[in-house]
Amino acid sequence: MVEFVDLLNIPIQLLYYPPYHSKYNPIEGCWGIVDQHWNGGGAKLVDVEFMLSWASSMTWKGLYPILSLSKTVYQKGIYLTKKAMKQVESRLQRNPLLPKWDIFIQPL
């Protein structure tokens, strides 16, 4: 995110929902719609093409999703060194009242 902020040259504030608070997260509401859509139609998701076709027919608040299939395989087990993490942390401004849930990143 720090690199993304620098690339766009705009500040970004990250606000996270605490664990077990999905009912307040609007994205979780969308997943509920997807679940109802699939279950209500009795769909059997037998292959990727059928799944994408079925998902593209879903609407949420009158909007259709934009879908694309990613076949990228990402490496597992990639971690920052302590030194690199320290550099990233130096760029994060954490809200003292909610340090885990409210982070502000200013571009360089």
Which residues constitute the domain of residue 46?
2-105
pLDDT confidence of residue 55: 79
Q: Whole-prediction pTM value? A: 0.55
Percent of the chain as helix, strand, coil, to the nearest 5 = 40, 10, 45
CA distance 57 to 38: 10
CA distance 104 to 61: 30
Name the domain count of the chain: 1
- Strands across the sheet with 12-15, in order? 12-15, 102-105, 92-94
**pLDDT tier at 47, thresholds 50, 70, 90:** confident
CA distance 12 to 47: 38
Q: How many CA atoms lie within 13 A of 105 on its CB side?
A: 18
Give the mean pLDDT of 86-102. 93
Give the mean pLDDT of 50-66. 81
